[in-house]
Amino acid sequence: MKYSTEVLKMLSNTDQPLSGEKIAQNLKISRAAVWKIIQKLQATGYQIESQHRLGYIYHDNSKLNQYIIKKNLTAQLSQQLGFEIHQTIDSTNIRAKQLSFKKHLHPLVIISDQQTAGYGRYGRYYSSPSGNIYLSLLLPNPSHQLVPGLLTTATALAVSLSIEKKLAVQPQIKWVNDLLLNQKKIVGILTEAITNIETRSIDQVVIGIGINYLTQLDQLPPEIQARAGSLRKFALAAKVTRNQFIAAVLNQFFQIYQTYQTGNFLPAYRQRCYLLHKEVTIQQGQQKIAGLATDIDQQGCIVLSNGQHISSGEVTKIRLK
């Protein structure tokens, strides 16, 4: 097991073919053992090509691979971030919360190819077929300060910018943090704050990001097909693999995250905000509030034309003005 991780790491970290002999020497194992490991890796879905006389070469085929992700991260992030990659899991947010029982100095990234119990706000079912991106960040929060409305809007902007830069398509943000493409939801974000009753503060934060990246719409349950979209077409056209895209999102997120509490990213958020200057209905518990959305304030709240600042609830209706 340990050797197969090492072989995968060596192959992922180079664009040149590696000979079986070289790998064997490096790990002090036999060439036959290397061959066996390569076969096992191939069987689990890693695309490793054997080139005559040259050796083995790795092709990034979108199979989740932390070494390819790390290769595409900034040097600092590549050092700091810890990774946990799953083929299938109940939910990456649940896993992150389990891991939060321990203290972590650096952020952890939990990624899965699919989820069996993905969930959204208020326990709502979140469909999670294979091939998409289900990523949770477990962030230490040493300052114990948290500006919820800025964290969630910053995350939405980071994912939007990654899509614009990498896939050459412009999504829109539906307040607070849904991303839409042609009015179909392509990204959902669910953030959970972890309170520690001993320190009486929020000492860790989990940000779950679900991106419909490679899914074909007919893989989704029929009841959500009308509302869901996918980046598949754009991802294939731009030839950006899942691993490369995950790295882009992480690079972008941590760049904004450094200063998110200042709200300096809000102008870019507002620019992409799909609700501004539209008549909206916001459901707040059992209550409905309707009005013209005029602005997003410095805390990320939506402002209505009557001056009301709203920090809670969900936009259920949008009417063009």
Partner 1 sequence: MNLKEIQRLISDFNQSPCRELEIKTKDFQLHLSKNELSTKLLKQLQLSASPAGSAMADKLPAKKTPAADKPARAFVKAPLVGSVYLQPAPTKPAYVKVGQLVHPGDVVCVIEAMKVMTEIKSDREGKIKQVLVKNEELVEYGQPLFEIEEL
Q: Which residues bind to partner 1, rule: CB under 8 A?
A: 119, 121-124, 144-149, 151-153, 176-177, 189-195, 197, 199-202, 284-287, 299-301, 311-313
Buried/exposed code over 25-34 (b: 16+ C-beta within 10 A; e: otherwise): eebebeeeeb
Task: Give phi and psi for 2, each to the nearest 5.
Answer: -65, -40
Q: Please, what is the minimum distance in Å from the beta carbon of residue 200 to partner 1?
A: 5
Cβ atoms of residues 4 and 41 within 8 Å? yes
Q: Please, what is the minimum distance in Å from the beta carbon of residue 188 to partner 1?
A: 10
Provide CB contacts within 8 A for 280, sequence distance 6+.
290, 291, 292, 293, 302, 304, 315, 317, 318, 319
Q: Which is nearer to partner 1, 146 or 169 (CB)?
A: 146
Kind of pairing between the strands at 287-296 and 47-51: unpaired
Q: Which is nearer to partner 1, 84 or 297 (CB)?
A: 297
Question: Which residue reads 């920090």 in tokens?
Answer: 311
Nearest-5° angle of CA 98, CA 103, CA 106? 100
Q: Please, what is the minimum distance in Å from the beta carbon of residue 124 to partner 1?
A: 7
d(CA 136, CA 188): 12
* 220-228 own/partner pairs: CB under 8 Å, 24+ apart: 220/127, 220/129, 221/127, 224/127, 227/184, 227/185, 228/127, 228/184, 228/185, 228/186
Q: Please, what is the minimum distance in Å from the beta carbon of residue 235 to partner 1?
A: 25
- In eight-state DSSP terms, residue 60 is -
Q: Which is nearer to partner 1, 180 or 194 (CB)?
A: 194
Q: Which is nearer to partner 1, 169 or 202 (CB)?
A: 202
Q: Please, what is the minimum distance in Å from the beta carbon of residue 92 to partner 1?
A: 15
d(CA 238, CA 104): 36
Q: Which is nearer to partner 1, 29 or 202 (CB)?
A: 202
Q: Please, what is the minimum distance in Å from the beta carbon of residue 147 to partner 1?
A: 6
Q: Which is nearer to partner 1, 33 or 147 (CB)?
A: 147
Q: Which is nearer to partner 1, 74 or 98 (CB)?
A: 98
Q: Which is nearer to partner 1, 124 or 233 (CB)?
A: 124
Q: Please, what is the minimum distance in Å from the beta carbon of residue 217 to partner 1?
A: 25
Structure tokens at 199: 């320190």
* 5-8 own/partner pairs: CB under 8 Å, 24+ apart: 7/34, 7/37, 7/38, 7/41, 8/41, 8/46, 8/65, 8/67
Q: Please, what is the minimum distance in Å from the beta carbon of residue 77 to partner 1?
A: 23
